[in-house]
Structure 1
Amino acid sequence: MIKGFKEFILRGNVIDLAVAVVIGAAFSAIVAVMVEQLINPLIGAIFQVGDLSGWVIEIPTISGSVSTIGIGAIIGAVINFVAIAAIVYFVFVYPMNHMKARAAAKAGLDKAPEEPQLPTEQEILVQIRDLLEKQQSGPSPRA
């Protein structure tokens, strides 16, 4: 049981996943600061609200008071997500896919190996018919 656990922990994909989580958290913090300190003030300047977190929509409630919706925080979260996704794609995914494609082309592996064609239903039925005819026309067993 301990041996199986040790093999599981030392398997490459578990270690890779752990490293990815740590790097992802650190990277997310960097992008979050860039969004908060650069992008949010730019958007705030466009919409004349100083900072996105201060952009709220006030709506009246049934009881007569006012409720606030933090639209700036929502937009900031969406911008944060899009920024992280774009950076991850253009900095990591796209270059890695490009390098893999170049390595595969260099190795001559750009063509996927062809899978053998399976017979069609009609071909299978013809084979079954031929086998049945062969069995019927062959020597019959004597009793």
Structure 2
Amino acid sequence: MLQGFKDFITRGNVIDLAVAVIIGAAFTAIVTAVVDHFINPLLGVLLPSGSLSGWVVEVPGVFGEPAQFGIGAIIQAVINFLSVAAVVYFLLIVPMNKLAERRAAKLGVTEEAAPAAPTQEELLAEIRDLLAAQRPRA
């Protein structure tokens, strides 16, 4: 039982996942700092409040108290997410894909061309032929 757990923990996938989580957290902190201290102030120049997080839309409430919707905070979260995704894609995914392509080319591995999938007309003709073969002949 303990041997199975040891095998699971020392498997490459678990270690790779742990490294990815740690690096992802570090990238998130860096990108969030760039967005908070560079991009948001640039956007804040265009907003009357001077800050993206201060952009609030108020809607009159039924009982007198207005409801406040923090549109700026939502936009800021979307910008943070897209920034983190862009950094991860361009700094991790693209180089790793290029490295995998080079490694495959060096080893002489080529992708086999998959046979073309049959068209809709070919599939319908095949179904028609199968149904015709199943009919009893009179």
| TM superposition score normalised by structure 2 | 0.77
For residues 1-143 of structure 1, the aligned pairs below 5 Å read 1-112=1-112
In 1, the alpha carbon distance for the partners of 2:49 and 2:106 equals 54
Contact 1:101-1:110 within 8 A present in 2 as well: no
Instruction: Look up the SS of the partner of 1:31 in the other structure.
Output: helix
Partner residue in 2 for 1:128: none
Matched letter for residue 97 of structure 2: N
**CA positional deviation for 1:49:** 2.5
Query: CA-to-partner distance for each residue in 1:63-104, whole Å, 9 max, x for gaps?
Result: 122111001100000000000011111111011111211221
Partner residue in 1 for 2:119: none
**CA positional deviation for 1:111:** 2.6
Unaligned 5+ segments in structure 2 are: 116-125, 131-138
Instruction: Look up the SS of the partner of 2:79 in the other structure.
Output: helix
**CA positional deviation for 1:16:** 1.1
In 2, the alpha carbon distance for the partners of 1:93 and 1:54 equals 34
Instruction: Look up the SS of the partner of 1:110 in the other structure.
Output: coil
Contact 1:35-1:79 within 8 A present in 2 as well: yes
In 2, the alpha carbon distance for the partners of 1:114 and 1:39 equals 45
Q: How many pairs were matched up?
A: 117
| TM superposition score normalised by structure 1 | 0.75
Identity of aligned residues (%): 56
Instruction: Look up the SS of the partner of 1:23 in the other structure.
Output: helix
Q: Which moved more, 1:91-100 or 1:106-115?
A: 106-115
Q: Which moved more, 1:73-82 or 1:44-53?
A: 44-53
State the structure with bigger RCO (CA 8 A, min sep 6), 1 or 2.
2
Instruction: Look up the SS of the partner of 1:68 in the other structure.
Output: strand
Pair 1:94–1:42, CA change in 2 (3 A): same
